Amino acid sequence: NSVTAFAPATCANVSIGFDILGFSFDGAGDFVTLKKRVDGKIIIDNIECEEKLPLDPNKNTASVVIQKLCEDLNIQNGFSISIKKGIALGSGMGGSAASAVAALTAFNAFLKKPLSLQELSNYALLGEEAACGQKHADNIVPCLYGGITLIQSTDPIHVVELPVPNLHCVLIHPYLKVETKHARGVLCTSVPLKECIKQSANTASFIAALYQANNALLKKSAQDFIIEPQRAHLVPGFYEVKKAALDSGALVSSFSGSGPTLFALAETKEMALTIAENMQNTFLAHEIKTEFWISKMNS
């Protein structure tokens, strides 16, 4: 009568793929437990988290998606939901997606005929809409599918699972908060054709690099001309921290999702650790404390 599921953190955008690329990061994540109730109610009875979060079921992505599923599938019983957050909200590590996906995965275990990943994606998207006002799929999809994913279309959802590079990932979370809604709000809604061409070339080359397992091409193509410059001001010292990562041997470094977390990709675990420490010291020079995780990219 009770099921617990884990959903990993995710790094959306992967520098050049705004809203279309993302990968899962097993080093951190959320746990959600669903317990059946006979009274048909959906309530959140506990959220274990560093900050106090509202228990209102209309304000949490986990309960929002369960409410909708119960309605659509005409499920009579209710659920008590408890959430153990390993991902800080507003960190850029896909916290709202992880809570929704963990809840959906637990819910699926109660069904005689479980829903497909594609069906679950559509529900998880509703959670993102509730969280930031827009249905971006680049956290929920890698969270559900694992590995590194390309979202060819969100309506209908069409996912391409890409080859996962043999690399280690650093996620470094400065203790700042950037709401995705705000970080989307600062973006211009149109892009000059020239920029669009440069960005498309890099995105296409990045995908080719994954298929060719070509780290030199990966490094060359992971340069975002459109989104990163518009968001850099949201994190003090952003360019210095990114430089610290690249100077320490990172192939790629940028915001994880809408930030403030940054990610960096490295060829070895040892390099990843050096990169993380140098990024951490650079943040410290700006009097910003951080926490970091290192995990091998996995399929």
Feature table: binding site: 88-98
Q: How many Cα neighbours within 13 Å face the side chain of 269?
A: 5
Of 183 and 241, the one with the shorter C-beta distance to ligand HSE is 183
What single string gives the DSSP state of each residue in 185-226? Answer: HTS-S---HHHHHHHHHHHHHHHHHHHHT-HHHHHHH---SS
- What's the token pair of residue 155? 């309506």
* Shortest distance (Å) from residue 87 CB to ligand HSE: 11
Output the known binding site for ATP: 88-98
- What's the token pair of residue 179? 């709401």
Decide: is 184 part of the binding site for ligand HSE (CB under 6 A): yes
* Shortest distance (Å) from residue 41 CB to ligand HSE: 31
Compute the Cα dihedral for 20, 26, 180, 240 and give only its sign.
negative
Give the residue from 36, 45, 32 showing the smallest Cα distance to 98: 32
Q: Among 5, 14, 15, 18, indicate the residue that binds ligand HSE (CB under 6 A).
A: 18
Decide: is 179 part of the binding site for ligand HSE (CB under 6 A): no
Decide: is 139 part of the binding site for ligand HSE (CB under 6 A): yes
* Of 140-148, 167-175, 177-185, 260-268: span binding ligand HSE (CB under 6 A): 177-185
* Shortest distance (Å) from residue 124 CB to ligand HSE: 13
Decide: is 183 part of the binding site for ligand HSE (CB under 6 A): yes
* Of 131-139, 155-163, 198-206, 208-216: span binding ligand HSE (CB under 6 A): 131-139
Decide: is 228 part of the binding site for ligand HSE (CB under 6 A): no
Could you tell me how many helices (H) and strands (E) the chain has, helices first? 10, 10
Distance CA 245, CA 13 (A): 18
Decide: is 61 part of the binding site for ligand HSE (CB under 6 A): no
* Shortest distance (Å) from residue 77 CB to ligand HSE: 33
* Of 63-71, 132-140, 200-208, 212-220: span binding ligand HSE (CB under 6 A): 132-140
- Interacting positions 239-298 with ligand HSE (CB under 6 A): 257-258
Residue nearest to ligand HSE as judged by C-beta position: 257
* Of 12-20, 31-39, 44-52, 100-108: span binding ligand HSE (CB under 6 A): 12-20
Does residue 51 sit in helix, strand or coil?
A: coil
* Of 73-81, 166-174, 180-188, 214-222: span binding ligand HSE (CB under 6 A): 180-188
201: number of Cβ within 10 Å: 12
* Shortest distance (Å) from residue 198 CB to ligand HSE: 19
Give the residue from 62, 97, 61 showing the smallest Cα distance to 81: 62
- What's the token pair of residue 57? 């079921």
Decide: is 182 part of the binding site for ligand HSE (CB under 6 A): no
Q: Among 30, 138, 224, 228, indicate the residue that binds ligand HSE (CB under 6 A).
A: 138
Preceding amide of 8 cis, omega within 30: no
Task: Name the CA dihedral angle for 247, 296, 203, 251, rounded to a multiple of 10 degrees.
Answer: 10
Any idea which residue has 């705000």 for tokens?
182
40: number of Cβ within 10 Å: 11
Distance CA 196, CA 160 (A): 22
Contacts with ligand HSE, residue ranges (CB under 6 A): 12-13, 18-19, 92, 94, 136, 138-139, 180, 183-184, 257-258
